[in-house]
Amino acid sequence: MSPKAQPTAVEGFNGLGLSPSLLATLASLGYEEPTPIQREAIPPLLAGRDLLGQAETGTGKTAAFALPLLERIHRERTVDDDSRRARALILVPTRELAMQVAEAVHKYGHAAFGTCVVPVYGGQAIQQQLRALRRGVDVLVATPGRALDHIRRRSIDLSDTRFVVLDEADEMLDMGFAEDLEAILDALPKERQTALLSATIAPRVASIAERHLNDPVRVKIHREKTATGEVPRVRQTAYVVSREHKLTALGRVLDIEDPASAIIFCRTRGEVDQLSESLSAHGYRAAALHGGLTQEQRDRVMRRFREGTVELLIATDVAARGLDIENVSHVVNYDVPMSPDAYVHRIGRTGRAGRAGAAITFAEPRERRYLRNIEQLTKQTINTESVPTIVDLRARKLEMTRAALQELLVAGDLDGYRVVAETLGEEYDVMDVATAAIKLAHEARSGAGARDSDDVEIPEVGVPRADVSGGRIKPKGKRERGSPGARKEHRGDVTRLYIGLGRSSGVRPGDIVGAIANEAGVSPKGIGSIDITDKFAIVEVQEDEAKSIIAALRGTTLRGKKVTVREDRGVRGS
């Protein structure tokens, strides 16, 4: 018997009933083995059955419905049929997901069958969509609002539509598309095949399935259970900390974790804007994403995040729905989601395709019950840990310096610097020379001489109190020039200034930095932490510059208002 050949796409998928054309396409794309949802969903869909599928984001749902849909369109098209009226309609919650699904369906179907796929969604010029629809379409991928708009305009002909997919159905309902979905489904031919896929089968999802699916095959892909001793694919951690210390705790954790890319979830637009401003002011490359942005602004933020020029995406649940972003290393719940299902949705954006991921949650003491509810739903433990201490931060930064030096040693190409080492080695002990070089490299990576924090404790509930500080978020190695926390040196004692305007007046960290820099002529590098409450702000400055800053700011305005400025005496008011 000859040795068994290496697995190919044909061997992995050929038992599912797909045609040679599609199998060849999958092989060319590097597909080898079907995922569980693909293995369970493709055969009944090829057989013409309706399907109710429950699987999380990132499990291969798109191929699970797209491959049988393409196969059936090809099989049922007659030789003389060139009408190109939409044979399939795929409904998705967001513009981003519409583009991603359309790209995937085109990738599978165009080479195999010449399938024409058109995405339609809000935010795109209607005339552009009308031109594409007039040219003909096999598969229409649409958001519910724009699909209904075209139905009412009679710019799409769904009379030949025989295949309908509701992808991320729970998301569409959460976004308020229930009436639109009902209207669209009622406008479609009664004789059709329908697939509904959702991360959760909530009562509203089940109700739509009961009304619009005909004796569906039910497929549920369970969460993977971690074997004993195996590291979970998504590491789940919680920090219980009071709200006034949450921002500082977030900074500490970000510095320890050093995420390559992270999505940080907040409950409201206001929190998104405030957190984005605060993180940006402390040297992080952060950007906000919420429903108040124009489509152009939203696209720009997403492009920067995908390109890596933004490392922290601060978002609301609604704004992030439907986003399918590869290689998100961390998901951070700045606020605990009140719904366990929302938690599952959020953390499903990391740890994909076998990669490691981390889900970090900040909980106030009163939010403990939400953590317990999440654990009950997911059947997984969320480890509660202490906020990193200053010692932890220093150790982590030293470890990062050690790793960077190790990479240089492995890479080699150090001959140009060897003469310096040899010369110094003649005058000093070689170990001292190496230690000095490490110190120099470490300070260059960390921001030489920058203070780690103010020595103010963060009390934590339910875990041992960490010997940590309050004050400002510790700046990362990647800092924007001139941002607070990026200063290169510490030139003496620090004074805290009281500024008698706060969030209720629209004051942001950038306003204070700009006022001090422009009016007092102080470099932004000399500005420390900025803590803003509703009514006032506290900012750290160098003691020898405090009086000139007070004098300069007393003669100016912030957000169009005269401002009270004085040294902070712990007495609040103006």
Q: List, for residues 277-296, the tens digit of each pLDDT value.
A: 889 888 888 999 987 888 78
Q: What is the pLDDT of residues 14-32, one digit of tens each?
A: 889 999 999 988 888 767 7
**Mean pLDDT over all residues of the chain?**
79
Distance CA 213, CA 208 (A): 8
- pLDDT band with cut points at 50, 70 and 90 for residue 226: very low
- Residue by residue, DSSP assigns 450-476 as ----------BSSSPPP----SSPPP-
What 3-state DSSP class applies to 531? strand
Segment 239-252 shows an average pLDDT of 88
Residues 6+ apart with CB under 8 A from 446: 397, 401, 477
Q: CATH assignment of 232-477?
A: 3.40.50.300
What's the confidence (pLDDT) of residue 333?
94
> What DSSP character marks residue 261?
S
What's the confidence (pLDDT) of residue 66?
95
Distance CA 280, CA 490 (A): 21
- pLDDT band with cut points at 50, 70 and 90 for residue 222: low
Tokens 């984001």 — which residue? 57
Show the tokens assigned to 62: 């798109």
Residues 6+ apart with CB under 8 A from 177: 93, 144, 145
pLDDT > 90 fraction of the chain, expressed in percent and rounded? 24
Tokens 């320890």 — which residue? 256
**Fold (topology level) of 494-567:** Alpha-Beta Plaits (3.30.70)
- Residue by residue, DSSP assigns 195-218 as EEEESS--HHHHHHHHHH-SSPEE
What's the confidence (pLDDT) of residue 327?
75
Among the listed residues 381, 69, 70, 377, the one whose alpha carbon sits nearest the alpha carbon of residue 199: 377
Residues 6+ apart with CB under 8 A from 222: none
CB 319 within 8 A of CB 171: no
Q: What is the pLDDT of residues 263-275, one digit of tens each?
A: 999 977 888 988 9
Q: What is the pLDDT of residues 157-176, one digit of tens each?
A: 899 999 999 999 988 988 88
What's the confidence (pLDDT) of residue 5?
38
Q: What is the pLDDT of residues 458-472, one digit of tens each?
A: 554 444 333 333 333
Distance CA 319, CA 311 (A): 17
What's the confidence (pLDDT) of residue 92?
93
Segment 36-48 shows an average pLDDT of 93
Q: Tell me how long the chain is.
A: 574
CB 441 within 8 A of CB 401: yes
pLDDT at 7 over 70: no
pLDDT at 429 over 60: yes
**Taking the CB of residue 276, how many other CB atoms lie within 10 A of it?**
25
Distance CA 550, CA 554 (A): 6
Among the listed residues 427, 240, 401, 259, the one whose alpha carbon sits nearest the alpha carbon of residue 330: 259
Segment 221-235 shows an average pLDDT of 55
Which segment of 112-126, 199-213, 231-245, 297-311 scores lowest on mean pLDDT? 231-245
Residue 287, phi then psi, degrees to nearest 5: -145, 150
- The answer to whether 9-220 and 232-477 have equal CATH topology is yes
Most confident of the following: 68-72, 93-97, 476-480, 513-517: 68-72
Question: Position 476: which residue type?
Answer: K
- pLDDT band with cut points at 50, 70 and 90 for residue 71: very high
Please state the domain extents for the chain: 9-220, 232-477, 494-567
CB 290 within 8 A of CB 319: yes
- State the number of CA atoms in the 13 A half-sphere of 135 facing the CB: 11
Which superfamily does CATH assign the domain made up of 9-220 to?
P-loop containing nucleotide triphosphate hydrolases (3.40.50.300)
Distance CA 471, CA 530 (A): 8
> What DSSP element (H or E) covers 438?
helix 430-446
- pLDDT band with cut points at 50, 70 and 90 for residue 457: low
Q: What is the pLDDT of residues 373-410, one digit of tens each?
A: 888 877 888 988 888 877 777 777 777 777 777 777 77
* b/e 452-485 (16+ beta carbons within 10 angstroms → b): bbeeeebebeeeeebebbbbbbbbbeebeeebbb
- The strand pairing partners of 538, in sequence order, are 498, 531
The radius of gyration computed from the CA coordinates of the chain, to the nearest angstrom, equals 28
> What DSSP character marks residue 282?
T
What 3-state DSSP class applies to 329? coil
Segment 66-77 shows an average pLDDT of 89
